[in-house]
Structure 1
Amino acid sequence: MTAVSRGCAERNCPGRVDQDGFCRLWGHECAGASAGSDVVDGPAREPAPDPRPPRTASRPWERPAVLPTARPHDPLSAVVAQPVVPEHSRYCPQTTCRRRLPRVAGYCPDCGTRYSFTPPLADGDLRAGRYRIEGCLGNGGVGWVFLARDEDMDGAWRVLKGQRNPEDREAAAAFVAERQALIALNHPRIVTITHALRPESDRDVGYLVMEYVDGGSLEEARSTAGPGGGASAVDVAQALGYGVQILDAFEYLHDQGWLYCDLKPENVMRVGGRGAADPIKLVDFGAARRIDNTVSPAWGTAGFTAPEVERLGPAGPSVRSDLYTVGRTLAALTLVPRSVDVTRIPAGQDVLRLPVPARLDPFLRLLARATAADPDDRFGSAAEMREQVRGVRRQVSSAGDGVPRPTRSTLFSPSACAFGLHTDGDALDVVEIMLGLPAPLVDGADPAAGFLASLGPADPAELVELLKTAPERTAQVTYRAVRALLAAGRADEAGPLLADFPEELRDWSLWWHRGLVALVGGDLATARRRFEQVYGWLPGEVSTRLAYAVACELDGDPRSAADHYRGVWDADPGVVAAAFGLARCLLAAADPRGAADALLRVPESSRASTVAVTCAVRILLDAPDDGRRLDAAIDAAATVDKLPPFGEREEVEAHILRIALGCDLTEGRHDGRRLFGQPLDEDALRRAFERRCRSRARRTADRRERIALVDLANAYRPVTWW
């Protein structure tokens, strides 16, 4: 008998466990795994060898590096000592041949084409009478890159890029495309071309002269950012910041009719000396092409290229394939320590199986949509993707440092999300939830947008009748009618209104409203699937994540619901429904202290602060002593002190005093602290509790309650001789 590979028990890990109990994909020890487990009868045999090189870290995203601010590099430090094209990249330049060539120069033995994989310029060469070559910086997909000084500009540093092999006609065409692109483009996130040099011989295709970007590439920066100066994954929030800048450049490129096609960390350069802004520029436009070009060879890099480009060749590149490379670049920066390892990271929905922390869930969903196998499932434009990248960055950053980053949505109406403001999971009202969730904003391009804007507040039944007078039955009119019918208690009429929309329609508003119909109709599993789909399309929107959290809670999955409630609450403390939802889920998980802490974070400026504090104090009163109840009582008292007067204040204060009296007040770590102005002295707190009970007793009209409060006051009053 021999141990067989089995699935890893770690959360969401897609790896397999070897006979020693270690995950073969990520390298960590699997919880619950043991050598010799999961055996089967049969002849012993050696496990199949893993062709992948060993990993340097089990889960790179767990120990990411925050790249320091870029500083100007000495240009000469980037010069390659012995530049030569690596053997794995040496192919015959003849398109119909493409034989692998081990030598650096000569003639192809198959077709006789002359080739050379050494740089055509040497140190000290002078081009155009002004550009003095200082060394070779390396080579890209189609060209050589040289460092030079501009002698006509007081020795200013410049970069010259020329074709790698003049005999390679496809590369020559790509180089011409780069020259045309760079001359026409002008954007702060795109490297600037300063001069285009004409060929000086029959074997020379000319050179592009570009600005020298002095901060190094993202790949270079992270290659020494890890422990001991090794390679490291990049902090997700920082990588998303680079993503926003990249998408700024892509939006401009696409508007100008160009595709970049070959985005990867090596082609993103940082500008040194700009402080915390850490700006970047895109370089290496060798693969750039016009959007309408369907005949030129498609260039890209393994692991970053969209599947349709690999499948269709020249007809594959598009705006959506460009955005695919952005998703893969973000994955390469954050999920592996080196970009060459990105081929191990799945694309599309499979990326959601990675065992990342819950706080990174919106990031994985962003990657899943950006790298979907079907181009129609990806983001439709750089601007659309950039908006979601910004939203995901806010969520990830807030989950990491605890600093809220609320913002106004461009897709959903402002809403206090004041529903479910209690801690009783059995008392949730689906209609209240439907009315409390933010509503999608009306699409301004809809023909009935003006009519919908003219509708004021109205009773749901009245609104249903008003919507029947719409000049045109558009999608937006239908969605508004669905919400009105649900609010009026006519859920059976709302569903059929959406039946005529095709199932393949990728309109997130449609699936949002189908989720509402399923929610109010009691089909909670379907509601969860619908809202998860919308959340996957719009991972940067806290509104979609909130709806998915509610659906998870109602569907009986408090653990998942708590993760998403917490993500919403960390990012936007104005969404008080998330705080109460998180508290309910933590109570279900037997974590009363965590539930109370969540409610005590509701800001005093919120209308729900009184309810939140009252619920938190009652939770603490009923919770077992975990050694920190006195800390919680002091924190709760400080919160109550900041609140304006409210009816239940004395009751809440009495609860807090009662909690404190049940704790050990002799602990020295609380010396000097006070509770409602009283020192942490037992007699002082007993008197304060007695006063509040007697005050409440005087105001109540219920005789039994009055007697109970007086008895409680007498029971807690300090012992005296009279």
Structure 2
Amino acid sequence: MTPTSRPCAERNCPGAVDQDGFCRLWGHPCDGGPPGADPQPPSLVVRPSPSSVIRPSSMVRPSSSSVVPQPSSRVPRPVPVPSREPWRPRARPWESPALIPPTRARDPLEAVLSQAVVPEHSRYCPQTTCRRRVPRVSGYCPNCGSRYSFTPPLAKGDVRAGRYRIEGCLGHGGVGWVFLARDEDMDGSWRVLKGQRNPEDREAAAAFVGERQALIALNHPRIVTITHALRPESDSDVGYLVMEYVNGGTLEDARRTIGPDGGPSAVDVPQALGYGVQILDAFEYLHDQGWLYCDLKPENVMLIGGYGPDGPLKLVDFGAARRTDNTVSPPWGTAGFEAPEVQRLGPAGPSVRSDVYTVGRTLAALTLAVSSADLRPLPVGQDLLRLPLPAPLDPFARLLARATAVEPDERFGSAAEMREQVRGVRRQVRSAADGIPRPTRSTLFSPAACAFALHADVDALDVVEIVLGLPMPLVDGNDPAAGFLASLSLAEPAELIALLGAAPEHTAEVTYRMVRAYLAAGRADEAGPLLAGIPDDRRDWSLWWHQGLVALVGADGAAARDLFGRVYGWLPGEVSARLAYAVACEVAGDHPTAAAHYRGVWETDQGVVAAAFGLARCLFVIEGPRAAATVLLTVPESSRASTVAATCAVRMLLEAPEDGHRLDAAIDAAAVVEKLPPFAERDLVEAHILRIALGSDLADGRYADRRLFGHRLDPDILRRVFERTCRSLAGHTGDRRERIALVDLANAHRPVTWW
């Protein structure tokens, strides 16, 4: 017996619910509901002030993909509470992403719509006190009698302001019709005219005026520019904005055909992050000018044609833009992209941090879903970390988690701050994908060699050495004691503690420096109490960092992991934060997690040689000595730790079981050793490698053309080389027993001869 499908309970969604509890039309989870419940797809909504009657908007998406507006309601819509249950996707679009190809420059007339009519499901009465659905394209509302029209007010051949000749309709944006025109006073240059869609829609009229005011004052290469503002020519007419024509397509349009079957697809994460950097550039400018964008989504970002896949873009459709000090006008936004406080607070909700939220949701829509319509089921904030994303995308997941945090104070404080982390995350994700390191100097951490724990002994970690070797947060220049701290010279811990005790002002930065001095002096029990006086509600990642250092020295691996995890989540683009988190995971005994993050750091910056040794230690536990040795052999010869790495790798190979690849690894190790400058243990390392070779099957045809220290892989030849090496070592050792053992080893391996 086939079960009967039930209607979706989500407001205004016309879909039905499948057996798994998901809406078949829009894909969001649904617990069902009474028959006839009004369904609702992701829509562009307006949030009136709490003091007024809350009614939804009639705004629709631009271009041909229109959106159903919300129905009339005289009660506020309940604020959604994020579920703590992990979202279980039926598909994983991020596992098969695609690159958006270069956008081609096309004939502008190709973008003209053949039939420009607002679809029936998007037609609502323009009166804010009514908002009933109206059945016809134009006429009078059967409920309140208001006049309405959902047809373009301009036709091909119409001329506005005596110079702009209309060529056709490009679509209907959030608050107005969009037309393609030629400027006859500028040799027929292409222009775009945007006017209000319905003169009777007072909310749309207010938004249109706001857009005009915003665009006139703005001048940025990532923002569409306005060239003229046309006033209404009659009482029934509307004003128009004249804007530059951006030859290209939106991000949403660009990804609709990039899938393997010619359909939509999730976008490659590094490519999407590159777009994010440009968007945040524009947002930083907007915020500096006192404006909020409020309605970022892939449909409002245009890729300029004629450039490469990472080419320039522009923000378009400023209908929702508002001044940062505007706490009166109803905010406009798109469901699924809009920050929760905007839904909850109305005009008081929009802020720089709510704009940051829309950037995070836009990146999520591009990379974690095949279309923006599939965004709403995706979790936000820390719930995002429950998605089964692959380990190389962990920094990206943490970036999105902070950008879309439910509490505004948990998000990035500015577009510039987020942009810096986006760049760092992009470097990490790209390096994990192509194996090319992309080191950079941090603006938050001191440069450090990170040459600590340079060994492969899992049980011999010196946490004090680690604490002193980790990069340290730079002193906050706004701290009153910053100048005093800069004047301090290198000193012994005891002397430094005395100097810090005489500081003119005991600020947070002085406390942090004193904590590190106490840890270096071996007085860890006195370091922890110093941090108790700093309030944790400041969301100060430097405080978490130093609490983590104290936890590491105190052998509290779980607490250190939690604290450094908070720092890493706050600064996902910083490899120093990720390195500290990897160390904490290793100390806590979670070698698989530590290995994943050590690998991410090492792939991004091979100057952080501690990450290579940490990864080797973890792989030794997880996979065995050969996997660990392979990592150490990737330490570049330019590194000061290359000799130590090669020595550790060879010793690991001696302990590796015979798996058919030991000789390959030994030959690779020999090639590394040959490139190193002379070092004291070279004969010993060569002897180890030669023993591995002599214990392998040298008759295997795969090695016919291979060389070991310049010699053919002939048993007799390698025995003679090994004999000479052992005798050389015996001649340089002062230990009689060791010398006798080396001579015996040389005699045991020398080839059999008649003399």
Calculate the TM-score normalised by the size of structure 1. Answer: 0.91
Q: Deviations over 1:375-432 (max 9, x none)?
A: 0000000000000000000000000000000000000000011111111111111111
C-alpha change, 1:295 and 1:51, in structure 2 (3 Å) is closer
Give the CA deviation at 1:56.
11
Matched, 1:384 2:417: yes
Q: Deviations over 1:86-132 (max 9, x none)?
A: 33332221122222233322222222211112211112222122222
Corresponding letter in the other structure for 2:445: F
Query: Does the 8 Å contact 2:255/2:266 carry over to 1?
Result: yes
Instruction: Choose from 232, 235, 244 the match for 2:268.
Output: 235
Residue 188 of structure 1 is matched in structure 2 by 221
C-alpha change, 1:501 and 1:282, in structure 2 (3 Å) is same
Matched, 1:245 2:278: yes
Q: Deviations over 1:622-649 (max 9, x none)?
A: 1112222222112111111111111111
Matched, 1:584 2:613: no
In the TM superposition, 1:331-346 aligns within 5 A as 331-346=364-379
Residue 435 of structure 2 is matched in structure 1 by 402
Structure 1 distance, partners of 2:98, 2:239, is 40
Corresponding letter in the other structure for 1:500: G
Q: Deviations over 1:282-335 (max 9, x none)?
A: 101010000000111111111100000111111110000000000000000000
Give the CA deviation at 1:276.
5.7
Structure 2 distance, partners of 1:25, 1:379, is 33
In structure 2, the residue corresponding to 1:406 is in which secondary structure?
coil
In the TM superposition, 1:39-438 aligns within 5 A as 58-275=91-308, 277-438=310-471
Residue 482 of structure 1 is matched in structure 2 by 515
Query: Does the 8 Å contact 1:73/1:216 carry over to 2?
Result: no
Structure 1 distance, partners of 2:532, 2:162, is 72
Query: Does the 8 Å contact 2:629/2:652 carry over to 1?
Result: yes
Query: Does the 8 Å contact 2:296/2:362 carry over to 1?
Result: yes
Instruction: Choose from 692, 714, 718 the match for 1:659.
Output: 692
Instruction: Choose from 461, 466, 474 the match for 2:499.
Output: 466
Instruction: Choose from 452, 455, 474 the match for 1:441.
Output: 474
Residue 40 of structure 1 is matched in structure 2 by none
Corresponding letter in the other structure for 2:406: A
Matched, 1:521 2:545: no
C-alpha change, 1:466 and 1:210, in structure 2 (3 Å) is same
Give the CA deviation at 1:213.
1.2
**Unaligned stretches of 5+ in structure 1?**
1-17, 27-49
Corresponding letter in the other structure for 1:719: V
Matched, 1:533 2:560: no
Query: Does the 8 Å contact 1:93/1:167 carry over to 2?
Result: yes
Query: Does the 8 Å contact 1:126/1:132 carry over to 2?
Result: yes
Q: Deviations over 1:39-86 (max 9, x none)?
A: xxxxxxxxxxx9999x99821111111112222122222222212223
Corresponding letter in the other structure for 1:161: K
In structure 2, the residue corresponding to 1:149 is in which secondary structure?
strand
Calculate the TM-score normalised by the size of structure 2. Answer: 0.87
In structure 2, the residue corresponding to 1:160 is in which secondary structure?
strand
Structure 1 distance, partners of 2:148, 2:567, is 53
**Unaligned stretches of 5+ in structure 2?**
1-17, 25-38, 43-87
Query: Does the 8 Å contact 2:271/2:310 carry over to 1?
Result: no
In structure 2, the residue corresponding to 1:395 is in which secondary structure?
helix
Structure 2 distance, partners of 1:576, 1:489, is 25
Structure 2 distance, partners of 1:145, 1:485, is 66
Corresponding letter in the other structure for 2:566: Q
In structure 2, the residue corresponding to 1:435 is in which secondary structure?
helix
In structure 2, the residue corresponding to 1:426 is in which secondary structure?
coil
Aligned residues: 679
Structure 2 distance, partners of 1:667, 1:509, is 57
Structure 2 distance, partners of 1:407, 1:170, is 48
Instruction: Choose from 678, 683, 697 the match for 1:650.
Output: 683
Give the CA deviation at 1:478.
0.8
Residue 717 of structure 1 is matched in structure 2 by 750
Structure 1 distance, partners of 2:696, 2:247, is 61
Query: Does the 8 Å contact 2:536/2:543 carry over to 1?
Result: no
Matched, 1:450 2:483: yes
Give the CA deviation at 1:24.
7.8
Query: Does the 8 Å contact 1:304/1:325 carry over to 2?
Result: yes
Structure 2 distance, partners of 1:56, 1:452, is 51
Q: Deviations over 1:679-717 (max 9, x none)?
A: 122222222212111111111111111111112112222
Structure 2 distance, partners of 1:23, 1:400, is 36
Structure 1 distance, partners of 2:162, 2:702, is 77
Give the CA deviation at 1:140.
1.6
**RMSD of equivalent CA atoms:** 2.0
Query: Does the 8 Å contact 2:360/2:403 carry over to 1?
Result: yes
Matched, 1:564 2:600: no
Residue 724 of structure 2 is matched in structure 1 by 691
Matched, 1:498 2:531: yes
C-alpha change, 1:582 and 1:472, in structure 2 (3 Å) is same
Corresponding letter in the other structure for 2:111: A
Corresponding letter in the other structure for 1:438: P
In the TM superposition, 1:6-21 aligns within 5 A as none
Q: Deviations over 1:425-464 (max 9, x none)?
A: 1111111111011010001111111100000101111111
Residue 657 of structure 2 is matched in structure 1 by 624
Q: Deviations over 1:625-676 (max 9, x none)?
A: 2222222112111111111111111111111122222222233333322111
In structure 1, the residue corresponding to 2:538 is in which secondary structure?
coil
In structure 2, the residue corresponding to 1:195 is in which secondary structure?
strand
In structure 1, the residue corresponding to 2:242 is in which secondary structure?
strand
In structure 1, the residue corresponding to 2:537 is in which secondary structure?
coil
Query: Does the 8 Å contact 1:485/1:491 carry over to 2?
Result: yes
Instruction: Choose from 643, 648, 662 the match for 1:610.
Output: 643
Corresponding letter in the other structure for 1:145: V
Residue 14 of structure 1 is matched in structure 2 by none
Structure 2 distance, partners of 1:102, 1:584, is 70
Residue 576 of structure 2 is matched in structure 1 by 543
Corresponding letter in the other structure for 1:558: H
Q: Deviations over 1:586-627 (max 9, x none)?
A: 111133222111111111111111111111111111111222
Structure 2 distance, partners of 1:78, 1:165, is 22
Corresponding letter in the other structure for 1:483: R
Query: Does the 8 Å contact 2:101/2:308 carry over to 1?
Result: no
Q: Deviations over 1:196-215 (max 9, x none)?
A: 11111212221111111112
C-alpha change, 1:90 and 1:594, in structure 2 (3 Å) is farther
